Amino acid sequence: MAMKIRLARGGSKKRPFYSIVASDSRMPRDGRFIEKLGTYNPLLPKDSEDRVKMNMERVDYWLGQGAQPTDRVSRFLEAAGKIEKKERNNPNKAKPGKKAEERAEEKAAKAAEAAEAPAEAEAASES
């Protein structure tokens, strides 16, 4: 059985609250799970202690049994120091869109013109 440590969404509309659960990977996101391992409340500030709560003994047990954490849960475990940080790279997501690239080019051209104009004025005044 392929085990996952993942988030199960709870809470009402526009007020998310997640349970961190160990479940079979074939089960639905909010469906049947084997054990609840903690909670995650994204509405709390990032420095709050109550934002992410996990029973680390049980998380260690499930990781030892071969359970794979999802990306978000692995970030929580990295912050807690349970697993080593892995390098993430998605260069296509980081690239700006076409319009943003055009705006950046226009801004660079204006900056270059502004830098040239005072230099020309200084050269003319020195002669």
pTM: 0.68
Mean pLDDT by 10 residues, the chain (127 residues): 90 93 89 92 91 92 92 90 79 80 90 76 60
Structure tokens at 37: 């391992």
- pLDDT recorded at residue 81: 86
Helix (H, G, I), strand (E, B) or coil at 55: coil
Q: Distances from the Cα of 23 to the Cαs of 27, 60, 90, 122, in angstroms?
A: 7, 15, 28, 71
- What would the DSSP string read from start to end of 70-91? PHHHHHHHHHHTSS-------H
Query: Edge-to-edge strand order for the sheet containing 35-40?
Result: 52-54, 35-40, 15-24, 3-12, 68-69
